[in-house]
Each structure stands twice: as structure tokens, then as C-alpha cells.
Amino acid sequence: MSSELRYLDFDHSEDADGHGSFDAMASVAPERLGEVQAEIDRVLAWAEAAFPDARGALDEGAVWDYDLQHTRDDARFETLALSLSGTADFCAALRERFGLD
């Protein structure tokens, strides 16, 4: 994991079509939620800047997409789950930019 990403530790998988998926989940105390959201925002801002107007359904020809889920487990923890998917070129660029394995 890159030192730039403190909370997001991505797992990577690929499908039969050559699309990749990076999934990360962070469960934090409510006072840390803003830090996690800022890290997610930084990753998404990079994706939009590096691949502008290319977000959408991959099976319809888009280059990348994401899903973000936020749950509150109880009063002590909130969980953010980010899933980024993309073409091989997008995944290679994401790996390089954030030092992902």
C-alpha cells in the first residue's frame, strides 16, 4: 500500500473480460470518517482527472466506474466500502499512481 493511502488497502481481482476490480473497506470511529472520505475523494478525483468523462458501465464501453457504500455498524464504528472497476489501462494507471500491488 502506498504511504499516500492511510485507510484504503485495496484487494484486486480480474474478470474473464480483462476488467479489474479494486475493493477496499475501512471501519473507523465516527470522528475519523472525514479522513477516510477525504482519501476516497482523492482517489476518485485522480480517476476523473486521469480518465475524464470515461466513467460508466464497463459493459457499455466505459473505462472505469465505482461504487461507494456507507454503513454505521453501531455508535462506535462507521464503515466505508469502495469498489473501483476498470479496463486494464485504468487498473495499471491506478496501481502506478497509488503504489498498489
pLDDT at 3 over 80: no
Buried b (16+ CB within 10 A) or exposed e, 72-87: eeeeeebebebbbbbb
Band (pLDDT 50/70/90 cuts) for residue 101 is confident
Unique residue bearing C-alpha cell 499512481: 97
Nearest to 82 by CA among 49, 28, 48, 37: 37
Flag the least confident range among 4-18, 30-44, 80-94. 4-18
Mean pLDDT score, 24-40 = 96
52 three-state secondary structure: coil
Distances, alpha carbon 88 to alpha carbons 19, 51, 84, in Å: 6, 13, 12
Mean pLDDT estimate for the chain: 94
pLDDT recorded at residue 73: 79
